[in-house]
Amino acid sequence: MKQYIIRRLLQMIPTLIGISIIIFAISAMVPGDYITARANPNMSIEKQEQLRAIYGLDKPDYQRYFIWAGNMLKGNFGDSMQHKQPVTTVINTYVWNSFIMGIFALFFSWFIAMITGIFSAKFQYSFFDKVVTLLVFICMSLPSFFIGLLLIKFLALDLKLFPVGGMSTSGLNATGWTYFTDVLKHSFLPIMVLTMLSTGSLTRYFRTSMLEVIRQDYIRTARAKGLKERTVIFKHAFRNAMIPAITLLGFELPGLFGGAMILEQIFAWPGIGHIYLNSISMRDYPFMLGFTIFLAMLTLVGNLLADVLYGIADPRIRLK
């Protein structure tokens, strides 16, 4: 196992190099830079050149790549131009807001998907199963921004059930319980949409995996020896159906820390995705590049985690 993990980690190096080249090349294609994006007409050409030299924007692209990549190896992602702080600090400041949204959505979607998945497999082809199937398809096909907008319009603006956006009421200097409930109210809608988006495919996954297990001989044996149906389903079948699903937990990693860009934008949630979208329009390269690499690393680690978890959960699988 240890050997396997080490080998996989080593394999990540060329992949990361490839990713960094692609991402850097794309960003180098963007005409204009942070200085022009800020478009200050009062700034003289010389002053602009001076600033470029300070930020290192005057060097040719390939040199900038090596400087950037070399710094990253030392753990230095550079300074965000827009926030005037190291990229890692900016990420650390905002990523937790995204994490709050992500972790709750993860919890709810897994919970709902498990319950509905089990029951629609248990009562396959029943009315309940058919309704679930249809809902699953709708969830899988939701354009996130449109659903977000619809909910804001009807639930927040028209019915005034929830605040329109943001993470807390501005100007509210509350602490403790009041602050907590305030954030709770603000986070309800975005978490709901995020949950809806991921519940669809998860439910399908649990259903299929449950259907496979239910047909196994040991389930028949369990029934034959007179166990309660509840024990058969939840203890014998469900546990085995969970094994392949554990892999999915690894794939959730980038979603937890990567932020839901479009949803955060719509709900004005101060998460990392929101900041990232702004950085693109501000041409804040160091942050743009640094965070994209961060996302790619999360994906790679997530994939590794998925494989390792699979090996741990199912001893029949040997990782080589």
Which residues would be at the binding site for other proteins (CB under 8 A)?
Answer: 14-15, 18-19, 22-23, 26-27, 29-32, 124, 133-134, 137-138, 140-146, 149-150, 153, 157, 208, 211, 254, 258, 261-262, 265, 276-277, 280-281, 288, 291-292, 295-296, 299-300, 303
- The answer to whether residues 220 and 109 touch, using CB atoms and an 8 Å cutoff, is no
Residue among 220 and 228 whose Cβ is closer to other proteins = 220
- The answer to whether residues 42 and 86 touch, using CB atoms and an 8 Å cutoff, is no
Residue among 131 and 312 whose Cβ is closer to other proteins = 131
Residues 6+ apart with CB under 8 A from 253: 298, 299, 301, 302, 305
Minimum CB distance to other proteins, residue 40 (Å): 18
- The answer to whether residues 144 and 233 touch, using CB atoms and an 8 Å cutoff, is no
Token pair recorded at residue 149: 């907008």
User: What's at 133, amino acid-wise?
Assistant: T
Residue among 50 and 52 whose Cβ is closer to other proteins = 52
Nearest C-alpha neighbor of 204 from the set 105, 141, 120, 125: 120
Residue among 50 and 278 whose Cβ is closer to other proteins = 278
Residue among 145 and 179 whose Cβ is closer to other proteins = 145
Distances (CA, A) of 269 to 53, 152, 272: 35, 13, 9
In Å, how far from its chain's centre is CA 218? Answer: 37
Residue among 14 and 315 whose Cβ is closer to other proteins = 14
Nearest C-alpha neighbor of 8 from the set 310, 312, 318, 304: 304
Minimum CB distance to other proteins, residue 62 (Å): 19
Residue among 85 and 299 whose Cβ is closer to other proteins = 299
Minimum CB distance to other proteins, residue 23 (Å): 7
Minimum CB distance to other proteins, residue 179 (Å): 27
Minimum CB distance to other proteins, residue 112 (Å): 19
Minimum CB distance to other proteins, residue 233 (Å): 17
Radius of gyration of the chain (CA): 24
User: Hey, CA dihedral for 219, 225, 228, 229, is it positive or negative?
Assistant: positive
Minimum CB distance to other proteins, residue 134 (Å): 7
Residues 6+ apart with CB under 8 A from 293: 16, 19, 20, 23, 72, 77
Minimum CB distance to other proteins, residue 300 (Å): 5
Residue among 273 and 311 whose Cβ is closer to other proteins = 273
Cα distance between residue 291 and residue 95, in whole Å: 11
